[in-house]
Structure 1
């Protein structure tokens, strides 16, 4: 028996499609109005913890995905807990969506960040948070995104995710992780390590091992032999033979292999371990600088959110001073009237 994942050459990524790069940059620059450089830097760390399904979309696309998932689950939970007939008209997000409301954007962005920090799937994160809160006390409302970080909710989310990993969500079936698309990206390497680690926890270890090698092609045979030994690997492949049809060979376009941290509008630390190992790092440096320059040109700053906060502070201070001056002027005029009357 031969394995399609045993001797495939490492794929070489060429220059990414400029149309794709422009579309991704436009979305990132649009979001930059709400962000700080520290938020973008945090995304480089989150790229290493988020669930593997989200590692090849930008943080902005991931947040939009999170909003859509939250909206769907919000209506489902409302139907189950409160009123079925009204569920379809309930909104889990403010009118106009996240792009027309800074507070809403921040609330959903931060909740998505928390889900990525925990490394869980967004649907599991939202539904488990809502279910936990409903069990905690009788509530007339479901949790908003900014309310999903209480201690009992976090504990419940982690426990639920461990159950999912032991079940059907033990790996990602995205074609990005299959042998024909393997190009030594850090996230692809991390997924192989995740598969090997999770396999040890599965009750049907042998079949899962065989499926991961020959059916899903996410773990090469030589790597599996290094970890588990040739005898175990051969037995696993025999047991899994014929159980499922192999996943289709799908060589995806190069641009779809751009990781979530690619092209963010902050300087790239090429000395970091992740960037040193990433074959797309040279292109990322150029695209990130371009996105940063576009943000500065559009907003006049590399930190438009901080500028917005400072502007609001100045407005509040000015309103307070104007109000105080009017109050003082009113007192003086009243005193002057009393003096004339006397």
Structure 2
């Protein structure tokens, strides 16, 4: 099966599973989060991103147990499932919400999870925090925000280097997408603020990773030093440094925003959808997913429908009990059993 077809089918399975397992109000937030999350996750479906968050959480969970509880216990501990559940469940919904909280802050999952566990360890929690507990609450907000700023200064540069692995941000795949433009400006600012020699910055960003245009970055070097910088770059290349990343073909779906095709997230009149180059395609996919859900489950959102039926059933039960109690009060005292 062609890679392009396989990637598109996987995306379709992901958004169909998300529509089955997650409430529409949470799915609707993906439209906003698609442009807020860390650059490494912006071309990833929300379901795939949640499973990646779960993977990093399990690693942090085991490490927390190893250093704060018991090394033997940590060896066999899992903390959370890495599988997509068959039915809606609280644990998966909480995991989804926790991942969205990380996306709101625009931070890498592994970084914010490591910090969350370290923060909990310093406060000597009896049990490891659950995914939703990795973030601040009303009692810890000030301390949490202060500490994570320090943590980011030390650890974020290491995570930025990992962005070189994503081919969507290389110049040969530039489509002028809003995310690509924002990424380019982020890397531009990051590179200019670096204290590395100019030859290293140009070699890495323009030749090895191909994320920034050579002429634009070279123009930032003082004119009298440019020739020397290029000479150093060429010399390093001859000795094996700055090896260009391999060029890869990408299917169209590889450039899709994270919210593509989610029926609960698609809203043509919203500012996000109005300015999205994938809006028309998104509407077609969302309609297809809705049709599939209705054919299989009788509704676009089985979980929302189940909760609605459950509320109605509880309401009917309350009304029934109320009427029984009212009827009992109308019976004369001497006739009551």
TM > 0.5 between the two?
A: yes
* Aligned pairs for 1:104-115 within 5 A: 104-115=91-102
1:56 aligns with 2:55: no
Question: Is 1:139 the counterpart of 2:125 in the alignment?
Answer: yes
CA drift of 1:107 comes to: 0.5
Q: Aligned pair 1:314/2:316, yes or no?
A: no
From 175, 178, 182, the counterpart of 1:190: 182
> CA–CA distance in 2 between the matches of 1:95 and 1:334?
61
Does residue 156 of structure 1 match 2:147?
Answer: yes
2:21 is paired with a residue of what secondary structure? Answer: coil
SS of the equivalent of 2:43 reads: coil
Q: How far 1:103 moved relative to its partner?
A: 1.0
Matched residue SS, 2:128: coil
Q: Does 1:215 align with 2:208?
A: yes
Per-residue deviation, 1:214: 1.4
2:54–2:82 CA contact under 8 A, matched in 1: no
- Secondary structure (helix, strand or coil) at the match of 1:23 reads helix
Post-superposition offset of 1:140:
2.0
2:268 alignment counterpart? 269
What is the CA–CA distance in structure 2 between the aligned matches of 1:191 and 1:274, rounded to whole Å? 20
Q: Name the residue aligned to 1:119.
A: 106
Name the TM-score, length of structure 1 as normaliser.
0.79
Note the aligned Cα RMSD (angstroms): 3.3
Residues 222 and 274 of structure 1: is their aligned pair in 2 closer, same or farther, counting only changes over 3 Å? farther
**Alignment check: 8 A CA contact 1:47 1:55 kept:** yes
Deviates more, 1:113-122 or 1:182-191: 182-191
Deviation sequence 1:10-66 (CA, Å, 0-9, x none): xxxxxx945533332222122212334443332122111211221111011111111
Render the CA deviation track for 1:169-220: whole Å, top value 9, x for unaligned. Answer: 2561112211222222222222111100112332216222441011110111
Aligned length, in residue pairs: 320
Partner SS for 1:132: helix
Secondary structure of 1:156's counterpart equals: helix
Q: Structure 2-normalised TM-score? A: 0.80
- The separation in 1 between residues aligned to 2:29 and 2:177, in whole angstroms, is 19
- Distance change (3 Å), C-alpha of 1:223 and 1:300: farther
- Cα distance change, pair 94–168 in 1 and its aligned pair in 2 (3 A): closer
Q: What are structure 2's unaligned runs of at least 5 residues?
A: none
Instruction: Give the Cα–Cα distance (whole angstroms) in 2 for the partners of residues 253 and 44 of structure 1.
Output: 22
Instruction: Write the distance in 1 (CA, Å) between the matches of 2:109 and 2:95.
Output: 12
Specify every segment of 5 or more residues in structure 1 that has no aligned partner in the other structure, as ranges. 1-15
- C-alpha change, 1:169 and 1:221, in structure 2 (3 Å) is same
Q: Is the 8 A contact 1:37 1:302 kept in 2?
A: no
Hey, what's the Cα distance between the residues in 1 that align with 2:49 and 2:184?
22
Find 2:281's aligned residue among 283, 290, 295. 283
SS at match of 1:65: helix
Question: Secondary structure of 1:108's match?
Answer: helix
| TM-superposition CA deviations, 1:233-276 (whole Å, max 9, x none) | 76654444424322222233333233322222243538846764
Contact 1:210 1:236 in 2 (8 A): no
Q: Secondary structure at the match of 1:48?
A: coil
Task: Identify which of 204, 213, 231 aligns with 2:196.
Answer: 204
Q: Check the 8 A contact 1:178/1:217 in 2, yes or no.
A: yes
